[in-house]
Chains A and B, each alone.
Chain A
Amino acid sequence: MRHIPEEELHAYLDQALSRAQAVEIESHLASCASCRAERDAIASLRDRTTALLATLAPRTTPARPSWTELRRRHLAATARRANLVRGGVWAASLIFAIGLGYRAHSWQDAVAAVQQAPASTAAVPATKFPAPSQRPMPVRTVALSSARHPLRRAPVTPATTHPVTGIEMDTLDSAPSGPAEGVWRTESLERAVASGLNVPRVAGLPVLQIQVQEASSPLVAVDQQLTTGEMVRTIEGPATEMAILDRSAVASTGANGSGASSVSMRHGNRMLLMTARIPAESLRALLARVPLK
């Protein structure tokens, strides 16, 4: 009769075998003195190992921090990650907004167009606005990703997709973040509004793209286009986080003097920020047309 291999006896004593296998081994052991002796030897080897390893223990058993304490650390780590990602996003947003578009031929046109537009309709039919081909404009590129994503004037449609999308999303997608936090998702206007999200936007201007970052409180960025082709980005989020963005926006627009402006407004613990390459004065006029919740 075949004797039981050593490793099977280990597995048997470690209770790692199926019931059927264990029964088979037990029936063999019942009739084989040699395997019984082997089993006893392995059992004592096993006990000896356990005893030796037991000496490898810290002298004192450490106190265990409370689960609440660990949760706090987890949340802190999550917040740090989210902030890192958001910081990157802000920088991208700014570069995007500042590097965007075209020199305004006439920003007054832009504001006038807005003022003529029906304030009640968020999604304006495309025909209300001149198609890009009717007003040829120099095409400029976004500073960050110019090589790969030349920014072209978008056909003005009330749709939420635009070739501009994805410019900074490329940067975002590679950002080190968990699946839940710090990730922008593109939302359609209908869905965003239906889900009860506050979508900060200039009434009457077509929405090109909505991006949402949902953490403990949402951060929403909306891109809209003026009739002159200028892109206006409106960002709404927690004031504590937005204030940092605002300062850097002011700093960078002041430094390069490229004509990009940013204006911001606090409402409660939230903050609204608008950037575009148009004079601050006209931006403020646009800001006044963003209804607040």
Chain B
Amino acid sequence: MADELEQLYQSTYTSVVRFLYRRVWDLDRAQDLAQEVFVRAMAHRPEKPRAWVFAVAANLARDEARSAIRRKKHLTLLTNDPIVLPASEPDAQEQVEQDERMASVHRALDELTPRDREVLLLWDAGLSYPEIAAQTSLAVGAVGTTLARARKRLVAVHERQTAGRMDDAAHS
């Protein structure tokens, strides 16, 4: 049992951190929460550890989102200019571009309903339809419908934003 959990830890820790990062937007916090998830798993010894780990991660992320401080930080990340790295950094320009791309996807993701966003992120974290269904209390058949809607919306909003930015650039 412990071995199974340890194996799961080795194989999914990075996924759990990424999943949490996309919810709390703070790497340190995402790591703390991911470790907390596995420490809790040792105490609970869940029957379906993989689904359990992501379910608890999602719950922790939700609790986290309720914190006002977190929300403020989150907004700061959205509105602030990307972190400017020292000019001596060879890939500074590339880093800035990557930060811009990320902020733009982040904004698009925020346009989704919480349910759609959760299903999409769970799918992207590698959960199966039945696992997603169990965690979101959707019917398995509804997972496909939700994913279809979430994907279309994410891509559409993102493209609209990118087009808008290009318009702005053209006008200025």
Q: Which residues of A are at the interface with B, using a C-beta cutoff of 8 A?
A: 6-8, 10-11, 14, 16, 42, 45-46, 48-50, 52-53, 55-62, 64-65, 67, 70-71, 73-74, 77-78, 178
- Are B151 and A45 in contact, CB atoms less than 8 angstroms apart? yes
4 more A-B residue pairs beyond the given contacts A7-B145, A64-B13, A178-B43, with a C-beta to C-beta distance below 8 A: A7-B147, A10-B148, A53-B124, A67-B6
- Are B155 and A7 in contact, CB atoms less than 8 angstroms apart? no
Evaluate whether A55 and B102 lie within 8 angstroms (CB atoms) in the complex, with A10-B144, A16-B129, A70-B9 already known: yes
- Would you call B17 an interface residue if the criterion is a C-beta within 8 Å of the partner chain's C-beta atoms? yes
Task: Give per-residue flags for B106-142: 1 if the beta carbon is below 8 A from chain A beta carbons, else 0.
Answer: 1011000000000011011000110000000000110
Evaluate whether A53 and B143 lie within 8 angstroms (CB atoms) in the complex, with A58-B30, A73-B39, A74-B39 already known: no
- Would you call B92 an interface residue if the criterion is a C-beta within 8 Å of the partner chain's C-beta atoms? no
Which secondary structure characterizes the binding site on chain A? helix
Evaluate whether A56 and B151 lie within 8 angstroms (CB atoms) in the complex, with A7-B145, A16-B129 already known: no
- Are B42 and A74 in contact, CB atoms less than 8 angstroms apart? yes
Complex alpha-carbon distance, A276 and B14, angstroms:
57
Which one of A14, A55, A59 has the highest number of Cβ atoms from chain B below 10 Å of its Cβ? A55
Query: What residues on A are CB-neighbors of B17 within 8 Å?
Result: 58, 62
Query: What residues on B are CB-neighbors of A60 within 8 Å?
Result: 27
User: Which of chain A's residues has its CB closest to B150's CB?
Assistant: A49
- Are B13 and A52 in contact, CB atoms less than 8 angstroms apart? no
Complex alpha-carbon distance, A16 and B147, angstroms:
12
- Are A77 and B39 in contact, CB atoms less than 8 angstroms apart? yes
Query: What residues on A are CB-neighbors of B145 within 8 Å?
Result: 7
User: Which of chain A's residues has its CB closest to B6's CB?
Assistant: A67
24 A-B residue pairings within 8 Å (CB atoms): A7-B147, A7-B148, A10-B144, A10-B148, A11-B129, A11-B143, A14-B123, A48-B151, A49-B150, A49-B151, A56-B21, A56-B22, A58-B17, A58-B18, A61-B14, A62-B27, A67-B6, A67-B10, A70-B9, A70-B38, A71-B42, A73-B35, A74-B42, A77-B39
- Would you call B154 an interface residue if the criterion is a C-beta within 8 Å of the partner chain's C-beta atoms? yes
Query: What residues on B are CB-neighbors of A6 within 8 Å?
Result: 148
User: Which of chain A's residues has its CB closest to B124's CB?
Assistant: A53
- B31-56 interface (Cβ within 8 A of A): 31, 35, 38-39, 42-43
Evaluate whether A49 and B144 lie within 8 angstroms (CB atoms) in the complex, with A56-B106, A67-B6, A70-B42 already known: no
Q: How many inter-chain residue pairs (CB < 8 Å) link A and B?
A: 95
User: Which of chain A's residues has its CB closest to B133's CB?
Assistant: A16
- Are B43 and A74 in contact, CB atoms less than 8 angstroms apart? yes
B109, chain A: closest CB distance, angstroms: 7
Complex alpha-carbon distance, A164 and B105, angstroms:
65
Query: What residues on A are CB-neighbors of B9 within 8 Å?
Result: 64, 67, 70
Complex alpha-carbon distance, A7 and B170, angstroms:
38
Query: What residues on A are CB-neighbors of B171 within 8 Å?
Result: none
- Would you call B152 an interface residue if the criterion is a C-beta within 8 Å of the partner chain's C-beta atoms? yes
Evaluate whether A16 and B128 lie within 8 angstroms (CB atoms) in the complex, with A7-B145, A58-B30 already known: yes
- Are A56 and B105 in contact, CB atoms less than 8 angstroms apart? yes
- Are A52 and B39 in contact, CB atoms less than 8 angstroms apart? no
Complex alpha-carbon distance, A11 and B5, angstroms:
29
- Are B152 and A45 in contact, CB atoms less than 8 angstroms apart? yes
- Are B39 and A49 in contact, CB atoms less than 8 angstroms apart? no
A85, chain B: closest CB distance, angstroms: 14
- Would you call B98 an interface residue if the criterion is a C-beta within 8 Å of the partner chain's C-beta atoms? yes
Complex alpha-carbon distance, A46 and B124, angstroms:
11
- Are A58 and B106 in contact, CB atoms less than 8 angstroms apart? no
Query: What residues on A are CB-neighbors of B158 within 8 Å?
Result: 52
- Would you call B160 an interface residue if the criterion is a C-beta within 8 Å of the partner chain's C-beta atoms? no
Query: What residues on B are CB-neighbors of A16 within 8 Å?
Result: 128-129, 140, 143-144
A52, chain B: closest CB distance, angstroms: 5
User: Which of chain A's residues has its CB closest to B140's CB?
Assistant: A16
Query: What residues on A are CB-neighbors of B27 within 8 Å?
Result: 58-60, 62
- Are B39 and A14 in contact, CB atoms less than 8 angstroms apart? no
- Would you call B101 an interface residue if the criterion is a C-beta within 8 Å of the partner chain's C-beta atoms? yes
Kindly identify which residue among A42, A65, A78 contacts B43, using a CB–CB cutoff of 8 Å. Answer: A78
User: Which of chain A's residues has its CB closest to B98's CB?
Assistant: A55
B14, chain A: closest CB distance, angstroms: 6
A-B CB proximity, top 8 nearest: A7-B144, A11-B144, A16-B129, A74-B42, A7-B145, A58-B27, A49-B151, A10-B148
